[in-house]
Chains A and B, each alone.
Chain A
Amino acid sequence: MFRYIPLMLKNCWRNRRRTILTIVSIGVSMCLLGVIISVFHAFYLSDPTPDQALRLVTRNRISLTQPLPQSYRERIKQVPGIREVMIAQWFGGVYKDSRNPDNMFARFAVEPEKLFGIYGELTIPDDQKRAFERERTACVIGRDLANKLNFHIGDRITLVGDIFPGKYEFTVRGIFDSPRASSVLYFNREYLEQSLPEGRRGNAGTFDILVDRAENAPHIAQVVDDEFLNSPARTKTESEQAFVLGFVSFLGNVKMFLLSVSAAVMFTILLVSANTMAMSVRERVREVGVLKTLGFTPGAILGLILGEACAISLAGALVGYTISMMLTNGIRKSPFGGFLPPIAAFEPGVALVCVAAAGFIGLISSLVPAWGASRTPIVEALRSTD
């Protein structure tokens, strides 16, 4: 079998321009497919990190935009197995020119003394942490954000509120490191509360919960929700992973969207590749007749052509997946990366799916012309003029 590979590769290289164009177009599509599959994998198939597995998020059952009374915090805290509860409030707001995507980063009002306990994966020097807890207008920012906008300890950041109107001025008192993308700003919820009119105080967007053991988390979530079964505002408590996905699904039916885009992309590559293979086989009917005259069996001819198509689409997949690794890396570091589940740049499962997809495309796209060529009677093939 291996002795046919040189001939197969030489056949691929017969019409260089066409082969390169095909590889490029398959590459572009496979790159898109790679990104989509990576995102899909990160959203729906990846396991939570050990830190994530310990966290639950409680929100208003009706919608994420509806607040809950802050008094729930104490009742949640009573539930056995819960170590800590923190109010977290999505702030929104605008920093400088919001058309610059760099200026779009997540901002949360939190309880400073609890933040680093619940988010154990965040690391910050002790003195910075204490400074954040002490000062009402202090904020801490992630390393990614600090690097991107060149913020230093002591810098002032002014946000203009939209959900919570007004002008808010913070002083950077700490920069934390995170294993994930960290384009995030946390500030003291007290500052927000005192700036709000009387009627809007006392609310919580979400309660971030730390449980003692990951395996208890689903049960605890149920207990929390049962606690507020008969309250005016009912709650929905879910794993952090599920919560983030719910956040993503604000954008629409993401799962369906990803799947249908993948299908469309696959179909497009299939057409491109099928067209190329049909063309390249048609030009070579006579040669197929010659090979058969030399003793090549129909099966060998079939294998040669299928192999050629697979080689081309695998080359495309290689190019595409390499670029997609760069892109997913880019997404992870982008302003949105902070909201999204972490998207791995290289994930063996995703790479495997891409390679399999390419192989599948190679086979399917060339099946018809290859079959036709292998079955064409020799005499007829030899009569064809190229």
Chain B
Amino acid sequence: MTDNIVISTRGLNKEFIRDEFHVVALQDVGLDIHKGEFIALMGPSGSGKSTLLHLIAAMDTATGGEIRVLGQDLRALSDRQIAHWRNENIGFIFQSFNLIPVLTALENVELPLKLTNLKKQERIDHATTALQLVGLGDRLGHYPRQLSGGQEQRVAIARAIVTDPSLILADEPTGNLDASSAEEILTLVSRLNKEHGKTVVMVTHDPHAARFASKIRYLEKGALLSEGAVPAN
């Protein structure tokens, strides 16, 4: 099983130092995630869930410890290399969708492909396919403001998977959605995991959402509880 590990951290620390404030967001986090797993990351507000996700996506750098993602030591890469690496390997889904308002659904989904060598027509074909996969094949020309929250999040998911990354990271993807939209999104994410073999790490507050995952891990005050452990309250 060990050679199937896609995310591996050892003694991972993250501190934020701002003026006189000194916040320890992550403390000695050791985590192994295997290929094809669907992990739900839970914990109270401020426990460091987003911070951990950002470190995995190389959107931020750790203050201590080791982190390897998809066999890559992230600290060995330059800013430029990290950007390319993320474009190829990571699909990130935000709580607040974060679509570009001046672009249509299709253009939003095409955006990550602009960084690749694909020709215009290929980019459009890929983006269209991704939108069809999330069930929005008929909304290609719509702008974000013309879509419902659930639809916006599905566009965001299409954008996250369009480069065919092996890792999907989602930070409370259903946090801004009503129950039925949330259900759709969770079904979609678990399909990506089961049918397309994506490894998924999803931060969530919602125990119902967490049940879609194959495994739940808890963070508490920056520390990762051991596997199988559940917080006291």
Contact = CB atoms under 8 A, between A and B. Distances in A.
A3 B120 contact: yes
Given A11-B102, A295-B83, A379-B54, A3 B114 contact: yes
Contacts of A10: 102-103
Contacts of B114: 3-4, 7
Contacts of B57: 293
Interface stretch (B84-92, B173-181, B194-202): B84-92
Interface string B95-111: 00010111100010001
A297 B120 contact: no
A290 B100 contact: yes
B102 A294 contact: no
A238 B30 CA distance: 89
Contacts of B86: 293-295
Contact of A14 (B60, B80, B102): B102
Interface string A235-252: 000000000000000000
Contacts of A290: 94, 98, 100
Interface string B49-87: 000001001011000000000000000000110011011
A296 interface: yes
Interface in A347-381: 377-379
B137 interface: no
Contacts, number: 65
Contact of B87 (A11, A13, A295): A295
A129 interface: no
A13 B114 CA distance: 20
Interface in A287-304: 287, 290-300
Contacts of A379: 54, 59-60
Nearest to A294: B112
Interface string B30-59: 000000000000000000000000100101
Nearest to B156: A290
A292 B101 CA distance: 16
Contact of A293 (B59, B79, B103, B163): B59
Chain B interface size range:
20 to 34
Contact of A294 (B60, B115, B120): B115
Nearest to A379: B60
Nearest to B165: A295
A291 B102 CA distance: 13
B84 A295 contact: yes
A189 interface: no
Nearest to A290: B98
A297 B60 contact: no
Contacts of B154: none
Nearest to B123: A3
A116 B67 CA distance: 91
B170 to A, nearest CB: 12
B126 interface: no
Contacts of A3: 114, 120
Nearest to A378: B59
Contacts of B101: 14
A310 to B, nearest CB: 18
Contact of B115 (A295, A298, A378, A382): A295
Given A10-B103, A13-B102, A14-B102, A293 B115 contact: no
Contacts of A11: 102
B87 A286 contact: no
Nearest to A4: B114
Given A293-B92, A294-B115, A379-B60, A287 B83 contact: no
Contacts of B84: 295, 297
B197 to A, nearest CB: 21
A4 B113 CA distance: 11
A138 B57 CA distance: 91
Contacts of A6: 107
B60 A377 contact: yes
A297 B79 contact: yes
Nearest to B61: A377
Nearest to B78: A297
A294 B160 CA distance: 8
Contacts of B88: 295
Contacts of A292: 59, 83
B115 A296 contact: yes
A14 B143 CA distance: 13
B163 to A, nearest CB: 8
A11 B100 CA distance: 10
A354 B103 CA distance: 32
Contacts of B60: 377-379
B14 to A, nearest CB: 10
A287 B101 CA distance: 9
A9 to B, nearest CB: 10
B139 to A, nearest CB: 18
A6 B59 CA distance: 26
A376 B140 CA distance: 32
A298 B84 CA distance: 11
Interface in A58-102: none
Nearest to B85: A295
13 contacts: A7-B103, A14-B101, A290-B94, A291-B111, A293-B86, A294-B115, A295-B88, A295-B163, A297-B80, A300-B115, A378-B54, A378-B60, A379-B59
